[in-house]
Amino acid sequence: MKKRLPPFLSLPLGYLGVLGGWVLYHLRRANPEATLQTNANRRPMGITWECEEPFAHGVLRRVVENGIEHVTCQPAEQRFATPIFFQHGMWHGAWCWEAWQKQLAAWGWESHAISLPGHGHSPAQRSIQFCTLDYYLNFLRAEIARLPHKPVLVGHSMGGALTQWYLRYVGDDLPAVVMVASWVSHAMLADNLLRYLRLDPVGLLLMLIHWDAAPMVRTPQVAARALISRQALLSPEALYARLTPESALVLLQHNPPFWRPPERIRTPMLWLAGEADAFFSVEAMRRSAAHYGADFYVAAGAGHNIMMEPSGAEALQHIHHWLAERV
């Protein structure tokens, strides 16, 4: 006689089974090549909001155009012809790059930063649960294509994953790329799951129940523990107030068999790791940098959001000098 599961187990196990099937269905049907052949943007064309902020070394222009927030920082005295394009990571938006954009303007760099749909001031265009890396990549590619010159692409966290996807699926033809505490090269789960489980097992469980990544940053304290050090330049409350919901699908998509990194790239790459990153160990990021033949730099004492840390200024100066020698 077969034993039946207790009622208190059958319901959650059944839910997890259905959820697992739903996830597998969406990941298997995701096709980056096919996605890039379509126009994912469903918002009306045109500018719906804009403002300009002059500052000591240039002008910061914020605009929501064609449904995408685009922040341009134009230096008062431009010294470099190649622009820099910033791509944020999970939960963030273009806002996270503002301090770096202003400092780069002081050194003569033009820079751009966008917010993906449902992030920053970009309105959502589909339910966050259905957002995938190839969906986000479609918007990144479209915004880069609007620039008159190919930019240096700088990606933070998931933005670093999108940078890797860009190199594989769009083109290995950028002047340079910079990975800032990026997702690793091969497998998020292999390098990150146990580390995050030790950090926040409750957040992982809630993410599986709700199937979005918002529980991973569900309070100011939880968000700060994951993203910044205690010496960070902003408070947990200030950080938490600007975070947005995020897809959980993307975390699984950057793994085999759905993802395989390019074996050889021509684009020069610099990889930055935070010494105190809660998500990724320095060694995991060092291995990823080695896979791509990238130069490697460790930001002393920095959490995952290197650009919000005291050592972020020194890290940015390293980026500036590294780029100035190459573009």
Closest Cα partner for 56 from 114, 105, 92? Answer: 105
Note the pLDDT of residue 26: 65
- How much of the chain, in percent, has pLDDT values that exceed 70? 92
**Greater pLDDT, 51 or 210:** 51
Residue 190: is its pLDDT beyond 90?
Answer: no
Residue 1: is its pLDDT beyond 70?
Answer: no
DSSP 8-state symbol, 156 = E
Note the pLDDT of residue 19: 57
Note the pLDDT of residue 81: 97
Interhelix angle 133-145/158-169, rounded to 10 degrees, is: 70
Residue 302, CB-side half-sphere exposure with 13 Å CA sphere: 24
Give residues with Cβ within 8 angstroms of 59, minimum separation 6. 52, 53, 73, 74, 76
**What are the CA-CA distances from residue 71 to residues 41, 54, 240, 243, 281 (Å)?**
18, 13, 21, 17, 31
Other CB atoms within 10 A of residue 210 CB: 13
| Amino acid found at 214 | A
pLDDT-based confidence at residue 218 (cuts at 50, 70, 90): very high
Pick from 83-87, 104-108, 111-115, 260-264: least confident: 260-264
Contact 152, 174 (CB under 8 A): yes
Residue 205: is its pLDDT beyond 70?
Answer: yes
**What are the CA-CA distances from residue 285 to residues 60, 203, 250, 289 (Å)?**
32, 23, 19, 6
Pick from 189-193, 286-290, 304-308: least confident: 189-193
- pTM recorded for the entire structure: 0.93
Give me the mean pLDDT over the 109-134 stretch: 97
Residue 10: is its pLDDT beyond 70?
Answer: no
Mean residue pLDDT of the chain comes to 93
**Greater pLDDT, 29 or 220:** 220
- How much of the chain, in percent, has pLDDT values that exceed 90? 82
Note the pLDDT of residue 13: 46
pLDDT-based confidence at residue 118 (cuts at 50, 70, 90): very high
**Greater pLDDT, 17 or 42:** 42
Contact 121, 77 (CB under 8 A): no
Residue 279: is its pLDDT beyond 70?
Answer: yes
Secondary-structure percent of the chain, ordered helix, strand, coil, rounded to 5: 45, 15, 40
Residue 234: is its pLDDT beyond 60?
Answer: yes
Contact 137, 103 (CB under 8 A): no
Digit-coded pLDDT (tens) for 62-107: 999 999 999 999 999 999 999 999 999 999 999 999 999 999 999 9
Domains of the chain: 7-324 (3.40.50.1820)
Residue 282: which region, alpha, beta or left (left: phi > 0; alpha: psi -120 to 50)?
alpha
Residue 166: is its pLDDT beyond 60?
Answer: yes
Residue 221: is its pLDDT beyond 50?
Answer: yes
DSSP string, 194-251: HHHHHH-HHHHHHHHHHTSSGGGG-SHHHHHHHH--TT-SS-HHHHHTT-----SHHH
Token couple for 41: 């943007």
